Structure 1
Amino acid sequence: MVLLSALLIGLVFGAGIAVSGMANPAKVLNFFDIAGAWDPSLAFVMGGALAVALPGYRLVLRRPAPVLALRFHLPERRDIDPALVGGSALFGLGWGLSGFCPGGAIPAIGLIHPEPVLFSATMAAGIAIVKTGQRVRRRCT
């Protein structure tokens, strides 16, 4: 049941990304191009996502536990550290330079274009490098 619900949620998310245009890097880059060919439509996509997510979280978190798990898995840390700031900056730079974020690139792989495949491969390599660095740092301390 957990895998089926994950598949359905992924399909809905991918369809939303595709319908909204967030899998199209040109549309994303035009959203960031405020001084040029600015396309504000993604602001409405983000606003719509917030309009659904905020009340949804409030309703769901009132429950004692999720439907398909024993407990909620929420972030425990609330501090802002250099890793968070650096990761956020890298995410923003990557999104602004390529027009892809992970949520838009992964569904775009299905379009069989090289750009989302290359983006996803380099993203996976970056994640692997960071994870390896974290393991090495833990062993050294």
Structure 2
Amino acid sequence: MPIVMALLIGAIFGSGIAISGMASPAKVLNFFDVAGAWDPSLAFVMGGALAVAFVGYRLVLKRPAPLFDVKFHLPTRRDIDAELVGGSALFGIGWGIAGFCPGGSVPALGLGEPDALVFVVSMLAGIMIARGLRRWMETRRVAVS
């Protein structure tokens, strides 16, 4: 049942991305083009998502546990480190260059957006490279200690 719910929630999210036009890289890139063909609609989509999440989290977290798990899995770290800042910067740079973010690229694949395939393959390669680098750095850190 959890897999079915995850699929349903993902389909709702993807539908929202597609309906709002955020699966189109041109729509996203026009948001960043404040000196040219600026399109503020991304701000409204983000604002709507924040409002829904704000209300949703308050309602859901009043429950003792989620419906399909024994406990809520919420982040506990609150520190800001180089990994967080660097990852955020890479995310923003990639989004600004490609017009895709991970959440918008998957629905764009389903809509037949050819650039989405290049983005998703590149994103997956980047994830694998980052994991490999992290393991390599951990082994070096252990060897030095």
Give the TM-score taking structure 1 as reference length: 0.96
Distance in 2, Cα, partners of 1:79 & 1:86: 14
User: TM-score when scaled to structure 2?
Assistant: 0.94
Q: Following TM superposition, where does structure 1 have runs of at least 4 consecutive aligned residues deviating by more than 4 angstroms? A: none
| Whole-angstrom distance in 2 between the partners of 1:20 and 1:79 | 34
Unaligned runs of 5+ in 1: none
Q: CA offsets per residue over residues 83-114 of structure 1, 9 Å max, x none?
A: 00000000000000110001111111123332
2:61 matched to which residue of 1?
A: 61
Offset at 1:120?
0.5
Paired position in structure 1 for 2:43:
43
Counterpart residue number, 2:116: 116
> What is aligned with 1:85?
85
CA–CA separation in structure 2 for the residues paired with 1:35 and 1:118: 28
Identity among equivalent pairs (%):
65
The 5 A counterparts of 1:27-42 are 27-42=27-42
Aligned partner of 2:48: which letter?
G
Amino acid at match of 2:81: D
Name structure 2 gaps, 5 residues minimum. Answer: none
State the alpha-carbon separation in 1 of the partners of residues 22 and 103 from structure 2.
8
**Cα displacement string for residues 2-37 of structure 1 (whole angstroms, at most 9, x for unaligned residues):** 011011001000000000111000010001111110
In structure 1, the partner of 2:127 is 127
Partner residue, 2:23: 23
- The one-letter amino acid of 2:7's match is L
Distance in 2, Cα, partners of 1:110 & 1:51: 27
> SS in structure 2 opposite 1:119?
helix
Counterpart-to-counterpart distance in 2, 1:47 and 1:19: 16
Measured against aligned partners, the alpha-carbon deviations of 1:55-74 in whole angstroms (never above 9, x if no partner) come to 11011111111110011111
Query: How many residue pairs were aligned?
Result: 141
Measured in 2, the distance between the counterparts of 1:136 and 1:70 equals: 34
